[in-house]
Structure 1
Amino acid sequence: MGINVDLTVVWAFIIAFAVFMYVVMDGFDLGIGILFASFKVGEERDQAMNSIAPVWDGNETWLVLGGGGLFAAFPLAYGVVLTATYPLIIAMLLGLVFRGVAFEFRWRDPRHRALWDIAFSLGSFIAAFAQGVTLGAILQGVQVENQAYAGGWLDWLTPFSLLTGAGVVIGYALLGAAWLIWKVEGSAEAHARRLALWAGAGTLVAMAAVSAATPFLQFEYWKRWFDMPGVLATAQVPLLTGIVAFLFFRKLRGGATAAPFLLALALFALGFAGLGISLFPYIVPDSITIWDAAAPERSQIFMLVGTAIIMPVILAYTGWAYWVFRGKVGTHGYH
């Protein structure tokens, strides 16, 4: 039993890591899509697209790993969560399909480039918003009876889930703007810097609003955040968030290029840590723990061997891709 508990925690961290990697890596190219319409047609938009051309499809590897890992390691949670959020998952996948198709066709079908630009922006917004609403739906809890989803088709649609949806859209916009500051030049960089200022402020407001509302969703959340002596540890999350936010705006105004993006990633990491504090050890809040949802021990061991081989390979080729395509990008590609 001891090894089963240990393996379950290990798998929980693997899934959490994969989800976080997807959020931060696909988040910035979704953010670029969200902001795309605000850039001038021509050089600015071309630079924005070129900045993610070598990496955008590889970033979505983490979505497959996170979703596939959840299905394999925590099948009960996979069944409950997907059943509760099917409309959102379908919307997210359709958004990703539209933006992927638009990304390729805007270069190969110049006559209809304006249409493909709209599809790219709209698909990015829908995918980001659906992800945020899904997060809110999970946080507020789903109705479970006899280890199956027992709620309605639209139980996910609440003011709180809409708030988290808007928060994720704004947060992805921040990542996209910060990435463009790092990667593009000229008027596109200046515009991205202005966008990052507003998106940074909006992200902090959204984080504060979600953080203020979350403890009131369930009493367990309140206890995890405010009971003594745990509050001495949990209080460090908002404190560090304030410090990182201060450094972000300072570097942004100081003309830094890479630092705003790295600090935006740190903000997301702190937000993710806050989610972990609220949820752990539940995978479906207040209904199913990670141990309740875990696959049999032998299955976990078998999958862990494969993951120990595959994940370093993914990390290696991802790191190599970002290294090869480092530096600023122009209208015709990387310098």
Structure 2
Amino acid sequence: MDYQLIWVLLIAFAVFAYVTLDGFDLGIGILFPFEKKAENRGKMMNAIAPIWDGNETWLVLGGGGLYAAFPAAYSLLMTAFYVPVIIMLLALVFRGVAFEFRFKSRDHTAHWDFAFAAGSIIAAAMQGAMLGAFIEGIDVQNGHFVGGPLDWISPFSLFCATAVIVGYALLGAGWLIMKCDGPLQGRLRAIAKPAVIWMAANLGVVSLMTTYLNPAYGERWFSTPNIFILAPIPLITAGLLFWLWHAVKRREKTVFGITLSVFFLCYLGFGITLFPHIVPPIMGFREAASPDNSLSFMLVGAAILLPIILGYTAYAYYVFRGKIDDAGYH
């Protein structure tokens, strides 16, 4: 068995699960500044209150899996991204505290609303900035990171940060459109329409900039016959964005599903661009991997735990599948 490739796919799955599942509840925090009514903000938080902490399980699985399965890559990436990782984790802590305190501390609701929104925006921005810096590549010599603590900040990484913020906001809007009704749903539809256009523009710019960052990236997409094999990915993505812009006007469940599909195709394109590098553009996943006996041993645990995590996640979403109102789910 190719244990190295299996673990690459498992970690890729965990990261995608985190991006999409925690992405929409981060998106709800990003949308908080656009809703001024405290009762509507309460509905927005209630829409994710039973599931938000389970969504972050995938972040632990992805990070822990990278540490155990590809320690050389983990060492380089954590050294390069230590600052944004710490900022992201602190922002997630503020979000978590806001969940617990907002409904208890009636005299300071506005402060916890700010903590929830700021934590969501900062966490999303750090994830986007790390994505941009990851695509650009980090400065490595003789197997060690030799860059500075702020090398992750660049025009491209900042643009990726805004792209992730907008994308998460659209995911959050799609979830809330599905979960809410009445005037709140109408305002969310009004926010989502320009967000679709902004997201489409961001995707186009980021995709083109990525192909120019490294000649190998452009070669992979634009050489023959790759250009004909891979062309369906951007074409389908463009079609989905067009469908999403129309679905926002009148659909409920469709908006969230289409947005998830767009995220999946973007993630697929990202993987195709960088594969087989796990620390682009200098380290492939095979040279960063742990020994096969370690990978096979850990795979036994993953084979037991993954079905359990998927099972309780699916059950939680099934139980809290209804609409949300002032009293909670119904």
2:25 matches 1:29: yes
Equivalent runs, 1:271-286 vs 2, <5 Å: 271-286=266-281
Aligned residues: 330
Cα pair 1:51 1:329 within 8 Å, conserved? yes
Looking at structure 1, the residues matched to 164 and 301 of structure 2 have their Cα atoms a distance apart, in angstroms, of: 32
Identify which of 285, 299, 303 aligns with 2:298. 303
Deviations along 1:172-200, whole A, 9 cap, x unmatched?
A: 00001111000012111111111111211
Cα pair 1:137 1:156 within 8 Å, conserved? yes
Identify which of 312, 325, 332 aligns with 2:327. 332
2:136 matches 1:136: no
Letter in structure 2 aligned against 1:189:
Q
Letter in structure 1 aligned against 2:90:
L
- 1:40 CA displacement: 2.8
Identify which of 113, 116, 136 aligns with 1:117. 113
**Structure 1 segments unaligned to the other structure (5+ residues):** none
2:316 matches 1:321: yes
- 1:43 CA displacement: 2.2
2:14 matches 1:12: no
**Number of the residue aligned with 2:283:** 288
Letter in structure 2 aligned against 1:318:
T
Give TM-score scaled by structure 2 length: 0.98
Give TM-score scaled by structure 1 length: 0.97
**Number of the residue aligned with 1:69:** 65
Partner of 1:283, secondary structure, is strand
2:182 matches 1:172: no
Letter in structure 1 aligned against 2:59:
L
**Number of the residue aligned with 1:243:** 239
2:203 matches 1:207: yes
Looking at structure 1, the residues matched to 273 and 25 of structure 2 have their Cα atoms a distance apart, in angstroms, of: 28
- 1:41 CA displacement: 2.1
Pairwise CA RMSD of aligned residues? Answer: 0.8
Greater alpha carbon shift after TM alignment, 93-102 vs 189-198: 189-198
- 1:42 CA displacement: 2.5
Looking at structure 1, the residues matched to 295 and 168 of structure 2 have their Cα atoms a distance apart, in angstroms, of: 33
**Number of the residue aligned with 1:90:** 86
Looking at structure 2, the residues matched to 10 and 252 of structure 1 have their Cα atoms a distance apart, in angstroms, of: 38
Letter in structure 2 aligned against 1:237:
I
Greater alpha carbon shift after TM alignment, 266-275 vs 34-43: 34-43
**Structure 2 segments unaligned to the other structure (5+ residues):** none
Letter in structure 2 aligned against 1:101:
V
